[in-house]
Amino acid sequence: MYKILIADDHPLFREAIHNVISDGFPESEVMETADLDSALALTHEHDDLDLILLDLNMPGMHGLNGLINLRNEAPTVPVVIVSAEQDKQVVLQAITYGAVGFITKSSPRAQMTDAIEQILNGNVYLPSDIIRTQKASPRRHHEEASIPPELLQALTRKQLLVLERMTKGESNKQIAYNLDIAETTVKAHVSAILRKLNVHNRVQAILSASDIDFTAYLRR
């Protein structure tokens, strides 16, 4: 069904994630490797990979540099970071550098399956608990351009509600369910939000809006 590469230097975790894939996506072909060089070699040998599950801290990675190298070598293969890291800024940086998702190793099995399914369906997956509860580091926050109030005022009430849920790490499907609107409507709202806020992608919108007090704008 799918062809997936697990790149992680911990045999027990590789086995665990292999079992998640086998149970959730039967008949998938799963390959495993324990370092970045081997992962790069396998991506050259198998140009039909559907997904790479990449550990941030295995040999050769040097943090997010390994992700950048992998994206440069195999730009068409979706990469999701699977890590014990739970810092919000690392999560957002990984997405900025080209990952299509970030799964924490402490995630329950069902949540991992759901995350992989969302990513295989073409969505970006962010761990909502991290996005919702932690602030970006103060240094990084000041580096990011905050949204001028007049741009927020330009958003409709529905667009504000959608943006608020985006900052909580919700997917379009989750937003559609929670706001009781069609997923196509959510996509239209997201496009309008990016345009009005003058940002290029979803992650930039989340970064710039993560500290906004939405209740102040929704009261109007």
pLDDT at 150 over 90: no
Give the number of other Cβ atoms within 10 Å of residue 103's Cβ: 22
β pairing state of 79-83 and 3-7: unpaired
Q: Identify the residue with better confidence: 166 or 148.
A: 166
**C-alpha closest to that of 171 among 135, 136, 121, 209:** 121
Each residue's pLDDT tens digit, 119-130: 998 888 888 777
pLDDT reported for residue 202:
80
pTM score, whole prediction: 0.67
| Residue 187: strand, helix, or coil | helix
**Nearby residues of 155 by Cβ (< 8 Å), 6 or more positions away:** 163, 193, 196, 197, 217
70-99 average pLDDT score: 88
Helix (H, G, I), strand (E, B) or coil at 131: helix
**pLDDT at residue 205 greater than cutoff 90:** no
